[in-house]
Amino acid sequence: MEPGFPVPGWTLPVAAVARRCLCGVLLLLCLLLSIAVAPLASSQARADTLLVMGDSLSAAYGIDPDQGWVNLLRQRVGSGHEVVNASITGETTSGGSARLPEILRQYHPDIVLLELGGNDGLRGLSPQQMQVNLSKMIERSRDAGARVLLLGIEVPPNYGPAYSDAFRGVFTQLAGDYDLPLVPFLLKGVDLDSMLQADGIHPTAEAQPIILDNVWPQLAPMLETQTPSAG
């Protein structure tokens, strides 16, 4: 038998082995590629958790909860984000500050929407103490790895210009001190004659889309930015 001469009966097995080897190599490459891509896909698919810490304005007081601006927000962001509404009617900054640590531990939010202060104002509580309470909430949220969006509110004009200015100044001062995005007045654009309930304080269902539209320009850029890992 001359060297290099094809041996009858060997040609088919050699080709079959070659095909199997090629398939094995391709399978190995696919497995390696899937392992490399999996962490990237996992990080891109991670959903941000949004925590709303508010009072009756965010708790849909007096209306169907499905019509409240927080639920409208949930619908707008879709399934890519979890929206947790920890708002309680009648909540003050003091009460919110006391509740926040446990809520942060429970939900590990990426973004905290802080909407408190209205009940402090209605009760004529000290704007200085309100600022202290909100500062604690901002710092605790940041320590937990969350970013904060501050939602401002104003008191009725009958409280007098001195108190009204001091109250409004709390939100602008905090936003400046902590470099926070700020919605200066949550109820901007809400018709106070036709879009308030009978109590003259709480917005109707008709006002809720307007409230969400006030929040959205500040919130939307935050949703596009990945939250840094805590620690």
Instruction: Round the CA-based radius of gyration of the chain to a whole number and report it.
Output: 28
Q: Average the pLDDT over each of 25-29, 94-98, 113-117, 205-209 and give the range with the smallest value.
A: 25-29
Largest Cα–Cα distance of the chain, in whole Å? 113
Could you tell me the CA-to-CA distances from 219 to 44, 99, 108, 225 in Å, in that order? 19, 23, 18, 10
Tokens 């040609």 -> residue: 11
Q: What is the pLDDT of residue 30?
A: 45
Give domain 48-223's CATH number out of 3.40.980.10, 3.90.1300.10, 3.40.50.1110, 3.50.50.60: 3.40.50.1110
Q: What is the pLDDT of residue 91?
A: 98
How confident is the model over 186-212, as pLDDT tens digits? 999 999 999 999 999 999 999 999 999
Q: What is the pLDDT of residue 26?
A: 52
Q: Average the pLDDT over each of 26-40, 53-67, 150-164 and give the range with the smallest value.
A: 26-40
Contact, 85 vs 52, CB < 8 A? yes
Q: Which residues contact 207 (CB under 8 A, 6 or more apart)?
A: 187, 190, 191, 195, 196
161-178 and 127-143 helices cross at what angle (nearest 10)? 20
How confident is the model over 6-15, as pLDDT tens digits? 434 434 454 5
Catalytic positions, written as ranges: 56, 199, 202
The percent of residues in the chain predicted with pLDDT above 70, rounded, is 77
Q: What is the domain partition of the chain in residue ranges?
A: 48-223
Q: What is the pLDDT of residue 116?
A: 98
In the predicted model, what is the mean pLDDT of the chain? 86
Q: What is the pLDDT of residue 74?
A: 98
Arithmetic mean of pLDDT, 18-43:
47
Contact, 141 vs 112, CB < 8 A? yes
148 has pLDDT over 80: yes
* Residues paired with 148 in a beta bridge: 112
Q: What whole-number distance in Å separates Cα of residue 167 and Cα of residue 164?
A: 5
118 has pLDDT over 80: yes
156 has pLDDT over 70: yes
Q: Average the pLDDT over each of 47-51, 86-90, 143-147 and give the range with the smallest value.
A: 47-51
Q: What is the pLDDT of residue 61?
A: 98
How confident is the model over 71-84, as pLDDT tens digits? 999 999 999 999 99
Q: What whole-number distance in Å separates Cα of residue 149 and Cα of residue 215?
A: 9
Q: What is the pLDDT of residue 22?
A: 54
Q: What whole-number distance in Å separates Cα of residue 103 and Cα of residue 229?
A: 18
The percent of residues in the chain predicted with pLDDT above 90, rounded, is 75
